[in-house]
Amino acid sequence: MFWKFDLHSSSHIDTLLEREDVTLKELMDEEDVLQECKAQNRKLIEFLLKSECLEDLVSFIIEEPPQDMDEKIRYKYPNISCELLTSDVSQINDRLGEEESLLMKLYSFLLNESPLNPLLASFFSKVLSILISRKPEQIVDFLKRKHDFVDLIIKHIGTSAIMDLLLRLLTCIEPPQPRQEVLNWLNEERIIQRLVEIVHPSQDEDRHSNASQSLCEIIRLSRDQMLQVQNSSEPDPLLASLEKQEIIEQLLSNIFHKEKNESAIVSAIQILLTLLETRRQTFEGHIEICPPGMSNSTYSVNKSVLEAIKARLSSFHELLLEPPKKSVMKTTWGVLDPPVGNTRLNVIRLISSLLQMNTSSVNQELIELNSIGVILDMFFKYTWNNFLHTQVEICIALILASPLESTENGTITDQDSTADNLLLKHLFLKCQLIERILEAWEMNEKKQAEGGRRHGYMGHLTRIANCIVHSTDKGPNSTLVQQLIKELPEEVRERWETFCTSSLGETNKRNTVDLVTTCHIHSSSDDEIDFKETGFSQDSSLQQAFSDYQMQQMTSNFIDQFGFNDEKFADQDDIGNVSFDRVSDINFTLNTNES
């Protein structure tokens, strides 16, 4: 039989290791060196554990390779060194984590001047991260003894790999007590205040972006940890520092400098949006928006955050009117002067988050500034900017879905909803939402009748109109909406009623997707199914279901949090279940008596 013969071919690495003069580079030139290391090849690991080999491996990672080398192979040895040191071989981890001289050599990479080589920085960060994960007590103790560690992290925060290292320090330590000690240490080093200081017009864009992203991740990590360890007696010191009113005021003071710097403004708004994030359970209704009092939020928003933002609402409003200067943008259909810009788009996102908070004092400030009117003007001015249209649509949907306003302490005011919702009245009376929809619709129909192109916001305008119709019929604030429509001038009210039954109804009918086929389908058992005979209505019920589904997708928190975190990727079996949970919230009411 074949097992009588020794068919095992020894690795070429084993052959090399039998030589007394074999070098580290010779081994690293072998294609299977990583595979053999991960397979715990005893001879190879013993060779790599030699002091001179470990020092060379670390040197490859932290030292610039020769400039005269071919670019294709210049980073070959640094890359292989990183892979060997992070192959999760316990003996290598032990030696690296316990030998002070090796740690010092590795740490010396941070002593280089900025900017760091981004590729070498990624190798350095990966090696130190796995050491933090496998040897948390030793590595944290070593870093604490380096009094310049936080200074160097701040110095190099513009390099993404160093930002990742900071976040790894917060995520790789799982035991509660050691993790709390790390948080206290970083808080004593004023890491939050120093990151906030970076979000300033005087700093460059990479530092703005990475400081902002670091703070956003710290907020999310802290809140998630608080949920997991609900019985913890110690609060998260980093989150507590960031939520202080004076810290938010400092952040806002930085960006409302004499010089309007778009990068700093957008980075600061990202931090504010993260502080305003809440996770709310889905409630049954037209859209996935949950006003205060209708469902418990997972995260609570600190009152000091809202107070600091409220004090600067007029400055944010000014950004809508006078954003940072941008050059004229020429497009295939016209000239934008000025273009919308990232600043104004993010200011509108901030307003939508504040609307979801539904705080009476903030709402009153928005009314006095007429911020809703300004963003509505932008909706119609920038005909083809669907990013803008989506955010404005969300703002309008939030106002329509929020019947009561909460006070600053988070409670709901105990007043009649028809008298209390000033923001909704403002939307209909001051902003003249109904009149503007009718005007824009008629203008578009006239343009198309003359052979022109359909306006780019018409799909969003259709959904806004449908949202108003739904709010009138069965929305949470239907009484007030009906009253406001009733109080419209008679001519406007008649035009709106005609519009709802004719133009809007016809558009909805055209937009309705056939959820069932009209032809015969033959199954594998040759049974003939005629879906026409099932009695499913293709008009009102399916149209409403599809409209509901569209609005749920549009207003989902997913829009504001779009992105992937490599630490949170689910298995393939789990991924298939992620995007279908909202479908179950749609109420398909089908009349089976119709033929």
Give me the half-sphere count of Cα atoms (radius 13 Å) on the Cβ side of residue 336. 18
The confidence score (pLDDT) of residue 50 equals 94
Task: Indicate the pLDDT class of residue 337, thresholds 50, 70 and 90.
Answer: confident
Percent of the chain with pLDDT over 90: 63
- Residues 488-497, mean pLDDT to the nearest whole number: 95
Task: Indicate the pLDDT class of residue 421, thresholds 50, 70 and 90.
Answer: confident
The confidence score (pLDDT) of residue 396 equals 96
The confidence score (pLDDT) of residue 419 equals 41
pLDDT per position as a tens digit, 28-69 = 999 999 999 999 999 999 999 999 999 999 999 999 998 888
Domain limits, the chain? 11-173, 422-512
- Residues 226-240, mean pLDDT to the nearest whole number: 79
Stretch among 242-256, 345-359, 421-435, 503-517 having the lowest mean pLDDT:
503-517
Ramachandran quadrant class, 417 (left: phi over 0; alpha: psi -120 to 50; beta: rest)? alpha
Q: How far is CA 8 from CA 2, 3, 12, 355, in A?
A: 12, 10, 12, 69
The confidence score (pLDDT) of residue 513 equals 63
Q: What is residue 412's DSSP assignment?
A: B
Residue from 288, 352, 291, 282 nearest 548 by CA: 288
pLDDT of 237 higher than 90: yes
pLDDT of 149 higher than 90: yes
The confidence score (pLDDT) of residue 406 equals 53
pLDDT per position as a tens digit, 60-82 = 999 999 888 887 889 999 999 99
Question: 3-state class of 359 per DSSP?
Answer: strand
Can you give 486-511 as a three-state secondary structure string? HCCCHHHHHHHHHHHHCHHHHHHHHH
pLDDT per position as a tens digit, 265-282 = 999 999 999 999 876 333
The confidence score (pLDDT) of residue 172 equals 87
pLDDT per position as a tens digit, 373-406 = 999 999 999 999 999 999 999 999 999 998 665 5
* Size of the chain, expressed as the number of residues it contains: 595
The confidence score (pLDDT) of residue 86 equals 95
Rounded to 10°, the helix 136-145/176-188 angle is 10
Report the alpha-carbon distance of residue 68 to residue 405 in Å, rounded: 67
- Residues 190-210, mean pLDDT to the nearest whole number: 96
pLDDT per position as a tens digit, 468-491 = 999 999 888 999 999 999 999 999
The confidence score (pLDDT) of residue 232 equals 62
- Residues 515-529, mean pLDDT to the nearest whole number: 45
pLDDT per position as a tens digit, 94-134 = 999 999 999 999 999 999 999 999 999 999 999 999 999 99
Report the alpha-carbon distance of residue 351 to residue 463 in Å, rounded: 20
- Residues 286-296, mean pLDDT to the nearest whole number: 41
Of the two residues 286 and 497, the one the predictor is more confident about is 497
Bond prior to 338 in cis (omega within 30° of 0)? yes
pLDDT of 298 higher than 50: yes
Pairing of strands 329-331, 334-336: antiparallel
